[in-house]
Protein backbone atom coordinates (compact mmCIF):
# COMPACT_ATOMS: atom_id res chain seq x y z
CA UNK A 1 0.00 0.00 0.00
CA UNK A 2 1.40 3.43 -0.95
CA UNK A 3 2.25 6.06 1.64
CA UNK A 4 -0.35 8.40 0.08
CA UNK A 5 -3.11 5.82 0.45
CA UNK A 6 -2.08 5.02 4.04
CA UNK A 7 -2.11 8.66 5.01
CA UNK A 8 -5.55 9.16 3.43
CA UNK A 9 -6.98 6.29 5.44
CA UNK A 10 -5.42 7.64 8.65
CA UNK A 11 -6.81 11.10 7.93
CA UNK A 12 -10.31 9.66 7.46
CA UNK A 13 -10.04 7.81 10.77
CA UNK A 14 -9.09 11.01 12.59
CA UNK A 15 -11.96 12.95 11.00
CA UNK A 16 -14.37 10.15 11.93
CA UNK A 17 -13.21 10.16 15.55
CA UNK A 18 -13.63 13.93 15.72
CA UNK A 19 -17.16 13.63 14.33
CA UNK A 20 -18.10 10.96 16.87
CA UNK A 21 -16.78 13.09 19.73
CA UNK A 22 -18.69 16.15 18.53
CA UNK A 23 -21.93 14.16 18.28
CA UNK A 24 -21.59 12.43 21.62
CA UNK A 25 -20.10 15.11 23.84
CA UNK A 26 -21.72 18.48 23.28
CA UNK A 27 -22.73 18.97 26.89
CA UNK A 28 -21.60 22.56 27.29
CA UNK A 29 -23.55 23.53 24.16
CA UNK A 30 -26.77 22.51 25.91
CA UNK A 31 -28.55 25.68 27.03
CA UNK A 32 -30.78 23.61 29.30
CA UNK A 33 -27.71 22.96 31.47
CA UNK A 34 -28.15 25.79 33.97
CA UNK A 35 -25.35 25.00 36.41
CA UNK A 36 -22.30 22.76 36.28
CA UNK A 37 -19.96 22.79 39.26
CA UNK A 38 -16.96 20.50 38.75
CA UNK A 39 -15.29 21.89 41.90
CA UNK A 40 -11.96 21.12 40.21
CA UNK A 41 -10.52 24.56 41.01
CA UNK A 42 -9.31 22.99 44.25
CA UNK A 43 -8.89 26.39 45.93
CA UNK A 44 -10.45 29.80 46.35
CA UNK A 45 -13.76 31.22 47.52
CA UNK A 46 -15.76 30.65 44.36
CA UNK A 47 -17.18 27.63 42.52
CA UNK A 48 -16.99 28.29 38.79
CA UNK A 49 -20.05 27.43 36.73
CA UNK A 50 -19.05 25.49 33.60
CA UNK A 51 -22.38 26.05 31.84
CA UNK A 52 -23.07 28.84 29.35
CA UNK A 53 -24.91 30.85 31.98
CA UNK A 54 -22.14 31.91 34.36
CA UNK A 55 -23.97 31.04 37.59
CA UNK A 56 -20.82 31.03 39.71
CA UNK A 57 -21.27 30.05 43.35
CA UNK A 58 -19.88 31.72 46.45
CA UNK A 59 -18.28 29.51 49.11
CA UNK A 60 -19.65 30.53 52.52
CA UNK A 61 -17.72 29.74 55.71
CA UNK A 62 -15.05 27.84 53.80
CA UNK A 63 -16.18 24.35 52.84
CA UNK A 64 -13.00 22.29 52.48
CA UNK A 65 -11.40 21.48 49.14
CA UNK A 66 -10.72 17.73 49.08
CA UNK A 67 -10.17 14.89 46.64
CA UNK A 68 -13.45 13.99 44.94
CA UNK A 69 -14.94 11.37 42.67
CA UNK A 70 -13.34 13.23 39.76
CA UNK A 71 -10.35 15.36 40.73
CA UNK A 72 -11.44 17.84 43.44
CA UNK A 73 -14.67 18.24 45.45
CA UNK A 74 -16.07 20.15 48.43
CA UNK A 75 -16.47 18.77 51.93
CA UNK A 76 -19.19 20.25 54.11
CA UNK A 77 -19.15 20.19 57.89
CA UNK A 78 -22.60 20.46 59.41
CA UNK A 79 -21.16 22.05 62.55
CA UNK A 80 -19.44 24.92 60.75
CA UNK A 81 -22.43 25.89 58.61
CA UNK A 82 -20.61 26.01 55.28
CA UNK A 83 -22.24 25.84 51.85
CA UNK A 84 -22.19 27.13 48.26
CA UNK A 85 -24.73 29.77 47.24
CA UNK A 86 -25.98 31.16 43.91
CA UNK A 87 -28.50 34.01 44.34
CA UNK A 88 -31.73 33.69 42.35
CA UNK A 89 -32.89 37.12 41.20
CA UNK A 90 -33.78 38.99 38.02
CA UNK A 91 -30.21 38.56 36.78
CA UNK A 92 -30.51 34.77 36.69
CA UNK A 93 -34.20 34.12 36.26
CA UNK A 94 -33.29 30.94 34.36
CA UNK A 95 -32.93 29.19 37.73
CA UNK A 96 -36.71 29.34 38.21
CA UNK A 97 -37.10 25.62 37.49
CA UNK A 98 -40.78 25.21 38.38
CA UNK A 99 -42.15 22.54 36.01
CA UNK A 100 -39.27 20.38 34.85
CA UNK A 101 -35.81 19.92 36.27
CA UNK A 102 -33.04 17.39 36.69
CA UNK A 103 -30.33 17.59 39.32
CA UNK A 104 -27.39 15.19 39.38
CA UNK A 105 -24.34 14.93 41.63
CA UNK A 106 -21.87 12.61 43.35
CA UNK A 107 -22.07 12.45 47.14
CA UNK A 108 -20.23 10.69 49.94
CA UNK A 109 -22.20 11.25 53.12
CA UNK A 110 -20.11 9.16 55.50
CA UNK A 111 -21.46 7.36 58.60
CA UNK A 112 -25.00 8.19 59.69
CA UNK A 113 -23.80 9.00 63.21
CA UNK A 114 -21.76 11.88 61.78
CA UNK A 115 -24.83 13.67 60.40
CA UNK A 116 -25.62 16.61 62.67
CA UNK A 117 -29.36 16.79 62.06
CA UNK A 118 -32.20 14.51 61.07
CA UNK A 119 -32.83 16.40 57.81
CA UNK A 120 -29.60 17.11 55.92
CA UNK A 121 -30.01 19.30 52.85
CA UNK A 122 -27.61 18.28 50.08
CA UNK A 123 -28.81 20.44 47.16
CA UNK A 124 -31.84 22.65 46.65
CA UNK A 125 -33.37 26.00 45.78
CA UNK A 126 -35.25 28.68 47.66
CA UNK A 127 -36.91 28.56 51.07
CA UNK A 128 -38.02 24.93 50.83
CA UNK A 129 -39.07 25.25 47.16
CA UNK A 130 -37.26 22.07 46.10
CA UNK A 131 -34.54 20.08 47.81
CA UNK A 132 -32.65 16.79 47.71
CA UNK A 133 -32.26 15.68 51.32
CA UNK A 134 -30.62 12.88 53.27
CA UNK A 135 -32.79 11.91 56.24
CA UNK A 136 -30.81 10.53 59.14
CA UNK A 137 -33.75 8.60 60.52
CA UNK A 138 -34.29 5.86 57.95
CA UNK A 139 -31.13 6.78 55.99
CA UNK A 140 -33.03 7.48 52.78
CA UNK A 141 -32.97 10.17 50.10
CA UNK A 142 -35.93 12.56 49.90
CA UNK A 143 -37.00 15.08 47.28
CA UNK A 144 -39.41 17.70 48.63
CA UNK A 145 -41.18 20.49 46.76
CA UNK A 146 -43.47 23.33 47.77
CA UNK A 147 -46.56 24.45 45.84
CA UNK A 148 -49.35 26.78 46.90
CA UNK A 149 -47.40 27.74 49.99
CA UNK A 150 -47.33 24.23 51.46
CA UNK A 151 -45.51 20.93 51.08
CA UNK A 152 -46.74 19.53 47.79
CA UNK A 153 -44.68 16.55 46.71
CA UNK A 154 -42.52 13.98 48.42
CA UNK A 155 -40.27 11.56 46.57
CA UNK A 156 -38.48 8.94 48.67
CA UNK A 157 -35.80 6.42 47.76
CA UNK A 158 -36.71 2.77 48.26
CA UNK A 159 -33.17 1.97 49.33
CA UNK A 160 -30.85 3.39 51.96
CA UNK A 161 -28.50 6.07 50.62
CA UNK A 162 -25.01 4.48 50.77
CA UNK A 163 -22.33 5.94 53.02
CA UNK A 164 -19.71 5.74 50.27
CA UNK A 165 -19.78 7.49 46.91
CA UNK A 166 -23.11 7.26 45.10
CA UNK A 167 -24.37 9.17 42.09
CA UNK A 168 -27.80 10.68 42.71
CA UNK A 169 -30.07 11.99 39.98
CA UNK A 170 -33.54 13.39 40.58
CA UNK A 171 -35.93 14.26 37.75
CA UNK A 172 -39.09 16.34 38.28
CA UNK A 173 -41.78 16.70 35.62
CA UNK A 174 -45.28 18.11 36.24
CA UNK A 175 -46.51 16.03 33.28
CA UNK A 176 -45.27 12.70 34.63
CA UNK A 177 -43.58 12.16 38.02
CA UNK A 178 -40.57 12.51 40.29
CA UNK A 179 -37.89 9.84 39.99
CA UNK A 180 -34.82 9.25 42.15
CA UNK A 181 -31.86 7.33 40.72
CA UNK A 182 -28.85 5.81 42.49
CA UNK A 183 -25.93 5.15 40.13
CA UNK A 184 -28.23 5.41 37.12
CA UNK A 185 -30.80 2.91 38.40
CA UNK A 186 -34.27 3.87 39.59
CA UNK A 187 -34.25 3.95 43.37
CA UNK A 188 -37.63 5.49 44.17
CA UNK A 189 -39.66 8.59 43.56
CA UNK A 190 -43.16 9.99 43.79
CA UNK A 191 -46.37 10.66 41.91
CA UNK A 192 -47.11 13.41 39.39
CA UNK A 193 -46.06 16.68 41.08
CA UNK A 194 -47.67 20.14 40.91
CA UNK A 195 -45.77 23.18 39.69
CA UNK A 196 -43.22 24.44 42.22
CA UNK A 197 -43.78 27.86 43.80
CA UNK A 198 -41.62 30.69 42.48
CA UNK A 199 -38.15 30.23 43.90
CA UNK A 200 -36.93 32.85 46.34
CA UNK A 201 -33.47 33.36 47.75
CA UNK A 202 -30.87 31.10 46.16
CA UNK A 203 -29.67 27.79 44.79
CA UNK A 204 -27.54 26.07 47.42
CA UNK A 205 -25.18 23.13 47.84
CA UNK A 206 -24.69 21.81 51.37
CA UNK A 207 -27.61 23.62 53.05
CA UNK A 208 -31.00 25.21 52.39
CA UNK A 209 -31.90 28.87 51.97
CA UNK A 210 -31.24 31.16 53.79
CA UNK A 211 -28.33 29.07 55.14
CA UNK A 212 -29.62 26.51 57.65
CA UNK A 213 -29.96 22.73 58.12
CA UNK A 214 -26.47 21.92 56.89
CA UNK A 215 -25.23 18.73 55.28
CA UNK A 216 -22.20 16.73 56.46
CA UNK A 217 -20.27 15.04 53.68
CA UNK A 218 -18.53 15.48 50.30
CA UNK A 219 -20.28 16.60 47.10
CA UNK A 220 -18.82 16.60 43.59
CA UNK A 221 -19.85 17.20 39.95
CA UNK A 222 -23.13 19.08 40.37
CA UNK A 223 -25.44 19.43 37.35
CA UNK A 224 -28.75 21.29 37.15
CA UNK A 225 -30.95 21.16 34.03
CA UNK A 226 -34.32 22.78 33.29
CA UNK A 227 -35.51 19.57 31.60
CA UNK A 228 -35.66 15.84 32.28
CA UNK A 229 -32.45 14.12 31.22
CA UNK A 230 -32.54 10.57 29.86
CA UNK A 231 -30.67 7.48 31.06
CA UNK A 232 -27.97 7.79 28.41
CA UNK A 233 -27.18 11.30 29.62
CA UNK A 234 -27.18 10.08 33.23
CA UNK A 235 -24.64 7.45 32.29
CA UNK A 236 -22.43 9.97 30.50
CA UNK A 237 -22.57 12.28 33.51
CA UNK A 238 -21.66 9.41 35.84
CA UNK A 239 -18.79 8.34 33.57
CA UNK A 240 -17.49 11.89 33.27
CA UNK A 241 -18.00 11.88 29.48
CA UNK A 242 -20.95 14.27 29.17
CA UNK A 243 -18.66 17.25 28.66
CA UNK A 244 -16.26 17.70 25.71
CA UNK A 245 -13.01 18.21 27.65
CA UNK A 246 -12.03 14.58 28.16
CA UNK A 247 -12.93 13.41 24.63
CA UNK A 248 -10.72 16.16 23.18
CA UNK A 249 -7.80 14.62 25.05
CA UNK A 250 -8.75 11.21 23.75
CA UNK A 251 -8.67 12.43 20.14
CA UNK A 252 -5.23 13.91 20.72
CA UNK A 253 -4.05 10.63 22.20
CA UNK A 254 -5.55 8.64 19.33
CA UNK A 255 -3.89 10.87 16.74
CA UNK A 256 -0.53 10.58 18.50
CA UNK A 257 -0.93 6.81 18.49
CA UNK A 258 -1.85 6.74 14.77
CA UNK A 259 1.00 9.09 13.88
CA UNK A 260 3.47 6.92 15.79
CA UNK A 261 2.24 3.86 13.87
CA UNK A 262 2.64 5.73 10.56
CA UNK A 263 6.15 6.92 11.36
The reported pTM is 0.81
d(CA 174, CA 187): 19
Question: What are the extents of the domains in the chain?
Answer: 32-240
Is the pLDDT at 160 greater than 70? The verdict is yes
Q: What angle do CA 8, 10, 14 make, to 5 degrees?
A: 115
Q: Per-residue pLDDT averaged across 137-141, rounded?
A: 94
Question: Shortest CA distance to 30 belongs to which of 246, 225, 168?
Answer: 225
Q: Across the chain, which distance is largest between two alpha carbons, in Å? A: 75
- Residues 96/208, Cβ–Cβ less than 8 Å: no
Is the pLDDT at 235 greater than 70? The verdict is yes
Higher pLDDT, 238 or 254: 238
Partnered with residue 222 across adjacent β-strands are: 37
pLDDT band at 15; cut points 50, 70, 90: very low
Under CATH, which number does the domain 32-240 receive? 2.60.120.200
Percent of the chain at pLDDT exceeding 90: 60
- Residues 86/48, Cβ–Cβ less than 8 Å: no
Q: Angle at which helices 3-24 and 245-262 pack, to 10 degrees? A: 170
Is the pLDDT at 248 greater than 60? The verdict is no
What is the pLDDT, as a whole number, of residue 10? 43
Instruction: Specify the pairing of strand 57-60 against strand 46-47.
Output: antiparallel
Q: Per-residue pLDDT averaged across 236-255, rounded?
A: 57
What is the pLDDT, as a whole number, of residue 86? 94
d(CA 33, CA 146): 23
Amino acid sequence: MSKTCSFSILSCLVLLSLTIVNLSHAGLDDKSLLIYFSFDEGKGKEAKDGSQHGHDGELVKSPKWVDGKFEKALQFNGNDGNYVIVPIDNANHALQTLKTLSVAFWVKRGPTKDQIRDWNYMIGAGSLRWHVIFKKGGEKTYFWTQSGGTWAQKGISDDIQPEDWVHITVTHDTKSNVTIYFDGKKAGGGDKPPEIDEIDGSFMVGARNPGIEFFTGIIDEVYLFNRVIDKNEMQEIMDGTFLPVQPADRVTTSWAHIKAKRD
